[in-house]
Amino acid sequence: MGRPAKFSEDQILDAALAVVAGGGPAGATIGAIAERLGAPSGSLYHRFGSRDLLLATLWIRTVRRFQRGFVAALAEGGAEGAALHTPRWCRMHPEEAAVLVLHRRQDLAATWPAGLAGDLDALNAEVSEALGSFPGTDRERLAFATVDVPYGAVRRYLLAGRTPPPLVDELITATCRAVLDG
């Protein structure tokens, strides 16, 4: 029987998050993450197998955390609350927001680590279910107003390493109202 792991998966992912936030994905080497954590590089390879797998796991964890808040906002605050969840979450979690733009779901099929294919397939199931059960609104309009518009609105700021300004909230709200009232 082997000895117990000194660092949890979340501790390793938190170290990777700090490294990505501080120097971008290119600086997120196994060596840099291990140094940040105070662990030998071999233990990270033992746990994840590769840098790509580690960063993909970090991305999945981040998307799940974001989506939990989105689903709760949709249930509690309706469509506008869900739409505004995106810029607000990005301001509250700037390091994690930077991770969200590491990958685009549609680009992952060819490069995604094989061990995470099931996670990728199931990733949006909860959001899809929440959108599908939202009363009185066309699903396509709802998805556009609460998912597509907010993501597009914050993406350029995140790619530039900037926090979305408050004006983004106003524009998302106006767009959400126009799409859903139209």
Q: Report how many helices (DSSP H) and strands (DSSP E) the chain contains, helices first.
A: 10, 0
Residue with tokens 């998805």: 143
pLDDT in tens, 28-78: 899 999 999 999 998 899 898 888 889 888 988 998 999 999 999 999 979
Q: What percent of the chain has pLDDT over 70?
A: 88
pLDDT confidence band for 154 (50 / 70 / 90): very high
For the chain, what is the radius of gyration of the CA atoms? 18
The DSSP code for 123 is T
Q: CA-CA distance, 14 to 21, in Å (whole number)?
A: 10
CB 58 within 8 A of CB 136: no
Tell me the whole-structure pTM to 2 decimals: 0.86
Q: How does the average pLDDT of the chain come out, rounded? A: 88
Residues 73, 82: contact at Cβ < 8 Å?
A: yes
Instruction: Convert the pLDDT of each residue in 155-179 to its tens digit.
Output: 999 988 899 999 999 999 999 999 9
Q: How far apart are CA 105 and CA 60, in angstroms?
A: 10
Whole-angstrom distance, CA of residue 1 vs CA of residue 90: 43
Query: Can you tell me whether residue 137 is helix, strand or coil?
Result: coil
Pick the residue with more confidence: 8 or 5?
8
Summarised one tens digit per residue, pLDDT across range 90-146 is 999 999 998 887 766 655 556 667 667 677 777 788 889 999 988 888 999 999 999
What amino acid occupies position 10? D
CA distances from 168 to 47, 51, 109 (A): 40, 34, 31
